[in-house]
Structure 1
Amino acid sequence: MRQNAAIDEEQRFLDRATARRDRLAEHLRAELASEVTDAVQQARQRMLRGQHDELRRAQEGLVFGRLDALDGTVRHVGRVGLSAEEMDGEPLLLDWRAAAARPFYTATAVDPQGQARRRHIRTTGSVVVGVDDEPLDGTAAGDLVGEGALLAALDQRRTGRMATAISTLQREQDEIIRARASGPLIVQGGPGTGKTVVGLHRVAYLLFTHRQMAEQAVLVLGPSPRFLDYIAQVLPALGETAVVSATCDTLLPGVGVGRAESRRLAEIKGRALWQEALDRFVASLLPQARELKLRWEGEFYVIPAATVGQALASAVPGRSYHQARLVFADQLHHLLAEAVAEQREALLAEMEEGYEEILARFDRGMPPGTAHGSSSDVDGLLSEEEIDELRERIAADASIARFLEAWWPIREPATLLRTLLSDRARLAEFAPQLTPEEISLVVAEPAPWSSSDIALLDAITDLLGDEETSLFSGGEPVAEQARRRRGWVYGHVVIDEAQDLSEMQWQMVLRRCPSRSITAVGDIDQAQAAHRHTSWAQAVQAAFGDRWTAAELTICYRTPREVMELAGPVLARAGSHNAPPRAVRSTGIAPWQRSVPAAELAGAALELVRQLQQRWQGGTVGVVAPADRVDGLRAVLGEVPVLTATQAKGLEWDATLLVDRDGIAAEPRGWNGVYVALTRCTQELGQLNSA
């Protein structure tokens, strides 16, 4: 079919699909306008509102693909699913996440999956601007799905925000997106392989396929606030709102990082040993069994040590410090109520024995056969209702509460952690794996929290526990509830740049997803964190042991072949045994270098950035430099992003200017940082070095 005719054909279908979407949205609006009176109707309204919002957001790229089956069936694929006008007809438009749409991403000439042709439809707003037909009979060359559409998307100018990629996902990406979510999946992918795209589109797929996840929300962890801002519009554009985005530093509500820390200290505090150390420390704070003497309404009552021990043994196992305290307090109120009742019964029994003796003496002086009263029908026993009432009075008594607070005090996590981290003797006792020199470094730390402290604070907060009980509150969106609740359990967690998580940060993740339904994407060769893990097995051993699944992205779509040719030698200098991903596109622009005296670097950078901005108008230019040059360059370059290699991870620009490569190589992660810096561009790379 001629190109113009194919465009006209797809324009007619797009018009039809747009009209159908508008009619469905209008129908949903009418239903949402109706009054609701009960919880069932409210739940249905929430579902309808979600459907309406999804349709409303499906403006750009409503239709982007078509499958022509060998049997003549034609199916279109798009952002959302649209039902047919006829009640029993085939769907007008397949949702990209539906099983029936999968051949659009996975069919090949070798395995056509019943398809004769795949068509990629390019649109701008409501206008079809191009089509790319891909026969699946072996006549098409290449190993990319929809190569024309993919390369066209990659050549577009960067805006500083990531866009959706549902129309250009590749086979190896789709296989990971649709993989089972029953355990940890670790995805290794070099620069430009679409790791972030895979992670975010996997969220959308899982929420579509496993509806219960929307009730629990999905957590997306990124390496920095800048990165989260970069990806912020992707999931809403895909219609997903049951998602919380955060960094490890912002996972603990109400707590923030107040200072930087040395890499040495970050490495020490990131070790898995702290989990056991904090567990032992909190366990040492639990009260020991002893005889308890309690005062109630002017009388003293004794709870024997053996009884206290039994209560502790039933309250503590499997519970946090404060949860165990609540359980023990309830038992203590019950034990005291029983002690009060028993003492009252004993007192009444003594009174009754004395009264019976008086009556006996009186009877001996009375004529035979004379009747007298008896107290035998007064036993002094309290009814269950009376004991329950007594227990409630004891539970509300301020003096009993003060006694419990003194014997088993409520602990504040931040205060408790500071107590441990500032006490050399306690650290030696509870973290014996630390050397005296390492303990000295920890104790010498100033007060504000550092990044590695957040993971420790999260761990001790979890061990202490809280009194949260309810999962939902009114009509508040689930993502908002999850965001402000430390103890929220998510349905799934996606981690980007996961190679940089410390062992204690992995524990933060596990606490929020005990089911271990986790997808972690990253590149072990781009690790910038203080730890020295050189393989995924080392990085996740403490969290998962050997119980995780590995996947790999092998094709670089973003970074030009001309740039990736520089990556192999850099990786070798970094000590990596991995091969860089295979680049599939070329821009024809060779990377270039300039050298100037060190004092002239900032001025030269300004001139070169201006030239790049001129060449890539409508796109973006970014600068990567050593940490000690960043402030000076920012002062000269103004609004142009100037970042360290660590800060630049996960980001991309049309053109990158790498300033002082040797300075980056001299930083702690050395050539790994250079590897990151080299691979941020989609079109052109320039390097500016000091002569």
Structure 2
Amino acid sequence: MRRKSALSNGTVGVNDAAPDGELPTSTEEGVARRSAVAEEQAFLDLATARRDRLANHLQVELSSEARDALERARQRMLRQQHEELRRAREGLVFGRLDGLDGIVRHIGRVGLRNDSEDSEPLLVDWRAPAARPFYTATAVDPQGQARRRHIRTAGSTVVDVDDEPLDGTMTAELVGEGALLVALDQRRTGRMSTAISTLQREQDDIIRAEATGPLIVQGGPGTGKTVVALHRVAYLLFTYRRMAEQAVLVLGPSPRFLRYIAQVLPALGETAVVSATCDTLLTGIRVGRDESRLLAEIKGRALWQHALANYVTSLLPRPRELKLRWEGEFYVIAAATVAQALASAVQGRPYHRARAAFAEQLHHLLTDVVAEQREALMEEMEEGFEDILARVDRSMGQDHHSARTPTGSDIDGLLSEEEIEQIRCRIAEDATIARFIEAWWPTLEAETLLGELLTDRTLLARFAPQLSPEEITAVSTEPAPWASSDIPLLDALADLLGEGDAPQPQGEFVADRARRQRSWVYGHVVIDEAQELSEMQWQMVLRRCPSRSITAVGDIDQAEAAHRHTSWAQAVQAAFGDRWTAAELTICYRTPREVMDLTEPVLTKAGSHNTPPRAVRSSGIVPWTLTITPAELAGAAAQAVRQLQQRWHGGMVGVIAPADRVAELLGVLSDVPVLTATQSKGLEWDATLLIDPQGIATEPRGWNGLYVALTRCTQELGQLILTQQSPHP
């Protein structure tokens, strides 16, 4: 809201925050804070009332029946606006900027117009350019701002405020540190929440970066990679409205992860989003088996893109003379003509689209041959029976009842364009011709083709000569049911074949249509845990976003997949070459300093050359260890979990263990998640119980996995160390 600021009546400092719900009791400080809270409560009430009026107005608009396509499009837009307002009940207002020019702007989940004719909005959308100083202004670079205020709310009540002067008298490392640390200290719920009130500058820079090409964001544990990725989606959809017409694809590492983030984008008002994993991108195809790391690594290599393209090309028909039967007569199309038609049909087209193009050309070619033969026959008839035809013509001229306007072959033996088109239509509809085309250029299925290739060593050696004999032997096994590494190969084949998507009913939102169609082209793709993607999975991404408007976030030091790359340059070389932009998140907000101090030697053993992110908060809880024997594991784990749950009541406790220990632990720990290091990626809990860290380290890429496992907690880390000897008292 555009109004004058009154900073002279006292400033509530960043470090003056009292516990939630408790305002300071000292006279001067307490009065200032209570006054600030009351001021913001009045504004929140005003904004809430305005939100309700707008939502009610939209509801009335939506109650009318749409009569045409234009009206239906308008109603879809209004319905999206209504949904955005409906979801903005919680945290409607969370910030305020007081400009050096005396102008005050409130920042919120959505933008709200003012009741008056004033062009300044009542509430500025957090994604709007005017809101950016809320995340980026500092005392060194105030960007025209005198003060930033974080407003903490619970439902419709203002709980507290944190003020940060930006007039050069104070230098803070973090923007709104008080509000950020309060958010980090809150109990985990098992669902990710929005972070629009506490985004930091390096995060906001990435969120608002240009979307013209691949952006690869490196960030260690707790740096807010996922928060940045999801808020970037919301920002892009708000800023580039055309992108919303194409939808945005969000790729995550697992269904568990997608459930964890499921509330974030809807809470930000975004519906033009499809969430998936690489394994679920192909409609109707499901992963049905695990596969060895060796096979996963081999099938993930970029060489398969070229191999599959050559494989499909080999299945195209070869030019030859074609002899076709139509309406009882045989017609011949010369080999040279067929070769020319094939070349014209194939040029750059997928297999089935080339087939359709050739079929259309064949109909025309056969029509020409039929027409030529009929015209030749009529010419022969006219030469042999000229006087008979003359008498017939004279008699037809005398009989006015049978008279008609002569056309085409009636006049000169040549077929008219209309007659030729009638022949072509009959040929196109002829079942015999259709059967001939199907036999000569058959319809193919990606699943059948891949199964044949992967079980035939001769074919593998021919089309994937880069593979060694040992690798060919490893690959040439029964492929069904499909493994995760088969999905990108199936996707590549489906693209090369050009399988058409079946017509789909129009969904309420663009995302409904996009998720049903394999060939949908998205406006932008966001990838979380991108370091896990194989080269063939990157190709899946490119097919869905040929514009390369892609944001990929991850930590190369947390890579656990079977591929061999250890740097981002290696990871994306096959997909992007050198044409990508790098960004980095350097500050760890989630994981406490006490835990991050344990990670440097683990990263060294993982072969990392990166500097670990710098933790900016301390939980005050030193990580603890307990040494036990394997026989004591079940009881010790159950007891440790109970103690952690008591200490972090209302929050979340998670257990991470080596893969071969998970089944045993699930039998005694039924009320907490028990995961491998890989499964825990991207998740966070108040407290983590890490079981047998040395066992995790011995797994493939185990030191990377241990790095993941160590950094899942926001408060407390406990470790159960297994030994074959009885532990000392």
Cα distance between partner residues in 2 of 1:599 and 1:165:
44
Report how far residue 35 of structure 1 moved: 2.8
- 2:627 aligned with 1:585, yes or no? no
Residue matched to 2:634 = 602
Mapping of 1:71-220 within 5 angstroms? Answer: 71-220=101-250
> Offset at 1:61?
0.5
- Aligned partner of residue 493 in structure 1, secondary structure: strand
1:655 counterpart SS class:
strand
Contact preservation (8 Å) 2:76, 2:508: no
Structure 1 stretches (4+) deviating beyond 6 angstroms? 357-360
Amino acid at match of 1:286: L
Question: What SS is found at the alignment partner of 1:387?
Answer: helix
Paired with 1:445 and 1:524, the residues of 2 have a C-alpha distance of: 33
Q: CA deviation at 1:259?
A: 0.1
**CA-CA distance at 1:48 after TM superposition:** 1.0
Flag the 1:358–1:62 CA change in 2: closer, same or farther, 3 A.
closer
1:46 paired to 2:76: yes
* Correspondence for 1:370: none
| Matching residue within 438, 455, 477 for 1:422 | 455
Residue equivalent to 2:311: 281
For 2:411, the equivalent position in structure 1 comes to: 378
Correspondence 1:31 to 2:61 = yes
Question: Alignment partner for residue 457 of structure 1, among 477, 490, 498?
Answer: 490
Distance in 1 between residues matched to 2:191 and 2:197, nearest whole Å = 17
Cα distance 1:452–1:72, how it changes in 2: closer, same or farther (>3 A)?
same
2:376 corresponds to which of 346, 350, 357:
346
- Of the structure 1 ranges 34-43 and 584-593, higher mean CA displacement relative to structure 2 is found in 34-43
Instruction: Please state how far the C-alpha of 1:412 moved relative to its aligned partner.
Output: 1.0
Q: What is residue 24 of structure 2 aligned with on the other side? A: none
Q: 1:111 to 1:141 in 2, by over 3 A?
A: closer
1:359/1:345 CA distance change after superposition, 3 Å: closer
1:617 aligns with 2:669: no
Q: Amino acid of the residue matched to residue 177 of structure 1?
A: I
Q: Deviations over 1:578-631 (max 9, x none)?
A: 111000000100001001111111211110000000000000000010000011
Checking the alignment, whether the CA contact within 8 Å between 1:112 and 1:137 is kept in structure 2 is yes
Once residues 56 and 679 of structure 1 are traced to their aligned partners in structure 2, the CA distance between those partners, rounded to angstroms, is 36
Letter in 2 for 1:14: L
Aligned to 2:437: 404
Rounded to whole Å, the distance in 2 between the matches of 1:13 and 1:628 is: 56
Output the CA distance in 2 between the equivalents of 1:376 and 1:259: 67
Partner residue in 2 for 1:225: 255
Q: Output one character per residue of 1:499-529: Cα deviation in whole Å (capped at 9) or x when no partner.
A: 0000000000000000000000000000010
Alignment partners' CA distance in 1, 2:631 and 2:409: 106
Q: Which residue of 2 aligns with 1:517?
A: 549
TM-score by length of structure 2 reads: 0.91
Q: Deviations over 1:77-119 (max 9, x none)?
A: 0000000111234100000000000000000111100000000
**2:296 maps to which residue?**
266
Q: Determine if contact 1:290/1:304 at 8 Å carries over to the other structure.
A: yes
Structure 1 gap ranges (5+):
361-374
Q: Which of 635, 644, 666 is the aligned partner of 2:698?
A: 666
Summarize the alignment of residues 248-267 of structure 1 with structure 2, pairs less than 5 Å apart: 248-267=278-297
Give the AA of the match of 1:74.
Answer: V
In 2, Cα distance between equivalents of 1:488 and 1:40: 23
Contact 2:90 / 2:156 at 8 angstroms: preserved in 1?
yes
Partner of 1:74: helix, strand, or coil?
Answer: strand
Q: Is it true that 1:438 corresponds to 2:471 in the alignment?
A: yes
> What SS is found at the alignment partner of 2:94?
strand
The size of the alignment, in residue pairs, is 678
CA contact (8 A) 1:660 1:688 kept: yes
Relative distance call for 1:58 and 1:358 in structure 2 (3 A) is closer
RMSD: 1.6
The structural deviation recorded for 1:46 is 1.1
Q: Which shows bigger deviation, 388-397 or 91-100? A: 388-397
1:365 aligned residue: none
Structure 2 CA distance for aligned equivalents of residues 252 and 181 of structure 1: 26
SS in 2 for 1:645: coil
Counterpart contact for 1:601–1:689, Cα < 8 Å: no
Secondary structure of 1:638's counterpart equals coil
Q: CA deviation at 1:36?
A: 2.3
Check conservation: 1:494, 1:520, Cα contact below 8 A.
yes
1:570 — aligned with what? 602
Deviations 1:307-337 (A, max 9, x none): 1011111100110000000000000011111
Give the 3 Å change call, closer, same or farther, for CA 268–377 of structure 1 in structure 2.
Answer: closer
Mean Cα displacement is larger for which, 488-497 or 570-579? 570-579
| TM-score of the two chains, using structure 1 as the length reference | 0.96
In the alignment, which residue of structure 1 is the partner of 2:401? Answer: none
Instruction: Give the share of equivalent positions with the same residue, in percent.
Output: 77
Q: Find the residue that maps to 1:647 and give its secondary structure.
A: coil
Q: Distance in 2 between matches of 1:631 and 1:435?
A: 37
Go from structure 1 to structure 2 and tell me whether the alpha carbon gap of 1:469 and 1:451 turns closer, same or farther (over 3 Å shift).
closer
How much does 1:689 deviate?
1.2
Distance in 2 (alpha carbons) for counterparts of 1:217 and 1:284:
36
Q: Per the alignment, do residues 396 and 590 of structure 1 end up closer, same or farther by CA in structure 2, a change over 3 Å counting? A: same
- 1:550-594 Cα distance to aligned partner (Å, 9 max, x none): 000000000000000001111011111111100000010000100
Q: CA deviation at 1:124?
A: 0.3
Q: Is the 8 A contact 2:501 2:518 kept in 1?
A: no
Mapped partners of 1:241, 1:291: distance in 2: 55
Question: Are 2:503 and 1:474 equivalent residues in the alignment?
Answer: no
Indicate the residue corresponding to 1:364 in structure 2: none
Spell out, residue by residue over 1:128-162, the C-alpha distance to the aligned partner (whole angstroms, 9 max, x if none).
00100000123334211110000000000000000
Aligned residue for 1:41, secondary structure, equals helix
Residue in 1 that maps onto 2:15: none
Give the whole-Å Cα distance in 2 for the aligned partners of 1:359 and 1:229.
83
Structure 2 residue corresponding to 1:309, chosen from 330, 336, 339 = 339
- Tell me how far 1:392 sits from its aligned partner: 1.3
CA distance in 1, matches of 2:477, 2:442: 28
C-alpha displacement of 1:359: 8.6
Q: CA deviation at 1:489?
A: 0.5
The residue identity in structure 2 corresponding to 1:531 is H
Aligned with 1:636: secondary structure? Answer: coil
Q: Structure 2 CA distance, aligned partners of 1:356 and 1:71?
A: 102
- Residue 292 (str. 1) matches residue 322 (str. 2): yes
Deviation string 1:147-200 (CA, Å, 9 cap, x unpaired) is 000000000000000000000000000000000001000000000000000000
Displacement of 1:72: 0.3
| Paired position in structure 1 for 2:357 | 327
Question: What is the rounded CA distance, in whole Å, between the counterparts of 2:43 and 2:548 in structure 1?
Answer: 43
Amino acid at match of 2:361: Q
Q: In structure 2, how many angstroms separate the alpha carbons of the residues matched to 1:200 and 1:210?
A: 15
What SS is found at the alignment partner of 2:153? strand
Inter-CA distance 534–86: structure 2 relative to 1 (3 Å threshold): same
Identify the residue that residue 481 of structure 2 maps to in structure 1: 448
Equivalent position amino acid for 2:636 in 1: A
1:467 is displaced (CA, Å) by 3.0
Q: Which ranges of structure 2 fall in alignment gaps of 5 or more residues?
A: 1-9, 11-31, 391-407, 724-729
What is the letter of the counterpart of residue 355 of structure 1? Answer: F
CA drift at 1:475: 4.9
Aligned partner of 2:373: which letter?
Q
Task: Give the secondary-structure state (helix, strand or coil) at the position aligned to 1:589.
Answer: coil
